Amino acid sequence: MNDLVRQHTALSETDLEWLHLLVSEWQLLSDLSFADLVLWVPTLDGTRYVSVAQMRPNTGPTSYQDDMVGHLVPRGRRPLLDAALDEGRIVREGDPEWREEVPVRVESIPVRREGRVLGVIARNTNLLTVRTPSRLELTYLQSASDLAQMIAAGTFPYPGQQVDMDASPRAGDGLIRLDADGVVTYASPNALSAYHRLGLAADLVGQHLGTTTAELAPSRGPVDEAIVKLASGWAPRETEIEGNSGVIQLRAIPLKPKGTRIGSLVLCRDVTELRRRERELITKDATIREIHHRVKNNLQTVAALLRLQARRMDSEGGREALNEAVRRVGSIAIVHETLSQNLDERVEFDEIADRVIAMVAEISPGKVECRRTGRFGILDAEVATPLSMVLTEILQNALEHAFTQGEGGRVEVSATRTGTGRTDGRLLITVLDDGSGLPEGFDPQRAGNLGLQIVRTLVEGELGGAFDMLRAEPRGTKVVLDVPVSPQK
């Protein structure tokens, strides 16, 4: 709609915002009217109309099989559009149009904002299935007529009340019609069922909806007055009411077709099961985060015990082996600590990489600078955990073997992420040092060092990636990891 309005019309940005607000609300008008809606806006030169939005009803058959958005119609071809635009009033046609052997009743509703008519809504009703209307259908049609008059007068939609069509109740979910005093004159079967779920034993018709709703909701002191006012339809508001193990969502729409409030529409939906599932998911998420938190605590306890054991060992080799185990356990604990703070099983790995680099840098024999460039991005937990261990082993190996005691140097970890949308994602990691380099004849794929064995097993076996160690120029060692990951969102 933005492109069509800006390309073909003279409407301002504030006018466009009003049309967006209208389109966010007009599913209700379409459902209450049992009709298709097409929004036509005059072009910049005033010789044509362009259709910028379309809505089909959920309550009846459509009048348009094709998409009308983007169509251009010369002025004069559809007299009802011209009359509604020029005279600023709702125009109804006497005889129906015939479209592909289907009779269609056509009406035009001017869209007014601050005294100006911005465009015209063409309301098209498929008459093929017309029959004697029920009480529900009559209430729908009367409510649609009231809303149409408010649109023509520029009093609907309500400013600042942008509606999420997926989250708000719809006409088919449950509809209650109130008079000017807030007394129910009609309640659809779905609306009555929703109130029965709250604990209502009687019929709704003839009752004051605000008072009845407040009595069914748990007592909240001063809040009861707000519930009474909202459910009485005095202002355009939306809320949820919980009582008797049921939850219903309410949306009130004051009706002022001629400038004076004549009553209200209250849309309601039973969201009991939806809220129950949401609470179960919240509980599940909290449980998962608590598990990660406890795993992290347990791993830190294990690391502390290994550290105590290392201090009491006489063997230098045994002490160093335990210290390496402490760092390996610590790298896994960092991942679990991060997971305990997230709502899903995904982590921002850059933070983890920085903490692993800082942890391993503590063992540096000299003044070795460790830093990271590039971004790892967000990784799944099943990738983050082994990758943190791999990074720990590679950095530990570089700091222990690339530099002698007291020697300065540099270790740089760089990460490059590829793949977006549906393309396969890859993570290319390079660890480069300017140390002494690899010894002659060194084969990283066959070396018996425990750390390299762990790296090979995790990268090739668990992560399904590739690992290599090369001589760097002019000196030092370059470790390259290529790991498949989920594409970036």
What's residue 128's pLDDT? 84
With CA atoms as reference, report the closest residue to 184 among 263, 269, 268: 263
Most confident of 67-81, 273-287, 327-341, 379-393: 67-81
Instruction: Give the span between the Cα atoms of 27 and 171, in whole angstroms.
Output: 9
What's residue 343's pLDDT? 63
Q: Please say whether the beta carbons of 406 and 350 come within 8 A.
A: no
Banded model confidence at residue 364, pLDDT cuts 50, 70, 90: low
- 180-237 pLDDT tens trace: 999 999 999 999 999 999 989 899 999 999 999 988 887 655 556 788 888 888 999 9
Measured between alpha carbons, how far apart are the two ends of the chain, in Å?
26
Query: Which residues pair with residue 124 across a beta bridge?
Result: 36, 106
Banded model confidence at residue 489, pLDDT cuts 50, 70, 90: low
Q: Tell me how far CA of residue 266 lies from CA of 191, 233, 235, 429, in angstroms.
A: 9, 7, 11, 58
- 46-94 pLDDT tens trace: 999 999 999 999 998 888 888 999 999 999 999 999 999 999 999 987 7
Higher pLDDT, 475 or 88: 88
Q: Give me the chain's average pLDDT, please.
A: 87
Q: What residue has token string 């994602």?
A: 425
In this structure, of 243-252, 280-289, 324-333, the range with the lowest mean pLDDT score is 280-289
Burial (CB count within 10 angstroms: exposed 0-12, middle 13-18, buried 19+), residue 488: middle
What's residue 448's pLDDT? 61
Instruction: Give the span between the Cα atoms of 468 and 19, in whole angstroms.
Output: 59
Q: At what angle do helices 135-153 and 13-33 cross, to 10 degrees?
A: 160
- 80-131 pLDDT tens trace: 999 999 999 999 877 788 877 788 899 999 999 999 999 999 999 998 877 7
Higher pLDDT, 422 or 187: 187
Phi-psi region of 395 (alpha: psi -120 to 50; beta: other; left: phi over 0): alpha
Most confident of 259-273, 311-325, 381-395, 428-442: 259-273
Length of the chain as a residue count: 489
What's residue 225's pLDDT? 74
What's residue 14's pLDDT? 94
Query: Which residues pair with residue 484 across a beta bridge?
Result: 426
Query: For the CA atoms of the chain, what is the radius of gyration?
Result: 34
**Alpha carbons within 13 A on the beta-carbon side of 64:** 18
What are the backbone dihedrals phi and psi of residue 44, each rounded to the nearest 5 degrees, phi first? -60, -40
Phi-psi region of 115 (alpha: psi -120 to 50; beta: other; left: phi over 0): left
What's residue 162's pLDDT? 65
Give percent of the chain with pLDDT exceeding 90. Answer: 45
Q: What mean pLDDT do residues 357-375 have?
A: 80
